[in-house]
Chain A
Amino acid sequence: MPGLTSTEDALSSGIRPSRRGRNLSRRLGAAFWFAVPFVALAITWAVVVEVTGVEARTFPQITDVVRAFGEMWTSGEYLRHTGASLRRVVLGALIGILTAVPFGILLGSSRWASVFFAPLLRFSVALAGIAWIPLATLWLGFGERAVIFIVWNATFFALTYNAMLGVQRIPTQLLQAARSMGTSRPRMFVEVMLPGALPSIVTGLRVGLGYGWRGLVAAEIIATSAGLGYSIFLAQKFFRTDIIIVGMITIGLLWLVTDRALLAPLERRTVERWGMKAVIS
């Protein structure tokens, strides 16, 4: 990682920057290096479009995209669509977590139930998300409910399966010790199994949300009148490649932030805290 060697040098030469200062410069350094490739990409983009003279309807110039974003922002459209997509993801994921985690832990706590349900769950994870779109729109019609269902579906199965596996992986001595201390069942669930399965649960959330986010975009293209997926598909009808790119970048940023700034650190922390590594479904 860049930046470390310089602080080592700084330390050895007798200068002692404060801890906060060191962290800050390290973070800034990392942020800088993270941004450089994107700047390079933007420059390349602008140059290539100019040089090849490609038509706006095939590939927009970076200024077109910026302008389109500006227009969408001022008209409120940008927030409307982004908000709709986010709302659906958050709702679907929340309901997913609330339903899947207890269910998964319950399954995991029973040897018999785990063995019985594991293949079915695995099968369901295999199918989770997009493949349910035809069925979901048949049962729930087009609109919000179907889209939220898809997000819920994707997160539910991945979470349940991983929660179950997570509980299974808790060392039996731990469970026996807790039981021998006379821990009641509810307390077992909340204070022993839940923390123990947490790393797996977080991985399950990451995988499930990954599928759920993709399912969301697909479902929005097919079944709604608002949302990021919908807006890029509508833009395609009018050759508005600039709007399409605004949408794509938004989708990318949203997931990047969610995954890297939220989920990955969460995964790392739960692993460090409870000392067990996670399972990939």
Chain B
Amino acid sequence: MVRTFGPFVPVVLVWWVIAEAEVFPPDLFVGPGTVLAEFRELIAKGILPAYLSDSFTRLWTGVLFGLLIGIPAGFIVAMSRWARRLTWPLLLFFQAIADIAWLPIVIVWFGFSLTAVTFVIVYTIVFPLMISIVSGVEEVPKDLVQAARSLGAGRFRVFTDVIVPGALPAVATGIRTGLGYGWRALIAAEIIVGTSGIGFMMFDARRAGVVTGVFVGMIVLGILWYALDALILAPFERGTIERWGMVRTAEVGR
């Protein structure tokens, strides 16, 4: 923990110095003290928890549906050669359409609602996840599958005991990538649709010309994602690799 967060201390100090020296005009750049004060105030007023929970609810709903749809779909496509051939190009193409680009038409369909935002987040997660699972399953060494078969395992057992564990690192990677896109899509949606949430809070502060609110939002977001990624997602990904002993050619950063 100290190793992860410790090095930020000198950074905060440097930041404080820059702000105090007024290298930049104070209405465009504020120091850690001001940000902390604003942070406390937003929590005290209940604004920050409310916005955080709004953002989080949207993200969580989207992620849940994304996983529920993406994981089974990914495996179904991965297990059938024909399904793979037919859908792989489509998967690539749809993943290439930036999720944000779906906002306008989704707004036409669902208006500015939770459904619209959820749709965008689900979309953002499903495709990278499926692509990751399909390539993950493909990379499960064939001799492992054959070994299991020769030991008398039926198709189903091969699936549950060899393929799923083997593809688990890919699932973890897919989730990590999908989430990375997902929360960004959420922030963009909140800015554009603009009713509540962290993205909205930042943009609203910007409209009022108050940079402190923007800083607070960015730091909160950064800390949340950084913590999520560094403490949960990345180790999970590493752990699945270690646990099931598959040698992956791609290393995971730290």
Given a CB threshold of 8 Å, the question of whether A touches B is answered with: yes
* Stretch of B40-48, B88-96, B139-147, B158-166 at the chain-chain interface: B88-96
Provide a sorted-by-A list of 22 A–B residue pairs whose CB atoms are within 8 angstroms: A37-B88, A37-B89, A115-B7, A122-B230, A129-B184, A134-B214, A135-B215, A135-B218, A215-B184, A222-B192, A229-B100, A232-B101, A232-B105, A233-B192, A244-B105, A251-B97, A252-B93, A252-B97, A252-B101, A255-B97, A279-B252, A280-B251
Chain B residues closer than 8 Å to A57, beta-carbon distance: 108
In the bound complex, CA of A34 to CA of B86 (Å): 8
Determine if A253 is an interface residue (Cβ-Cβ < 8 Å): yes
In the bound complex, CA of A40 to CA of B87 (Å): 10
Chain B residues closer than 8 Å to A259, beta-carbon distance: 96
In the bound complex, CA of A127 to CA of B5 (Å): 16
In the bound complex, CA of A248 to CA of B89 (Å): 16
Q: Give the Cβ gap from A252 to chain B, nearest Cβ, in Å.
A: 4
Also in contact, A41 and B101, with CB within 8 A (given A218-B188, A236-B108)? no
Instruction: Describe B's contact surface by its main secondary structure.
Output: helix
Per-residue A-contact encoding for B66-90, CB less than 8 Å = 1, 0 else: 0000000000000000000111111
Per-residue B-contact encoding for A108-136, CB less than 8 Å = 1, 0 else: 00000001101110111011011111110
Q: Give the Cβ gap from A157 to chain B, nearest Cβ, in Å.
A: 11
Q: Give the Cβ gap from B129 to chain A, nearest Cβ, in Å.
A: 15
Instruction: Describe A's contact surface by its main secondary structure.
Output: helix
Chain A residues closer than 8 Å to B90, beta-carbon distance: 37-38, 41
* Stretch of B31-39, B149-157, B219-227 at the chain-chain interface: B219-227
Q: Give the Cβ gap from B185 to chain A, nearest Cβ, in Å.
A: 7
Q: Chain A residue with minimal CB distance to B24?
A: A139
Determine if B118 is an interface residue (Cβ-Cβ < 8 Å): no
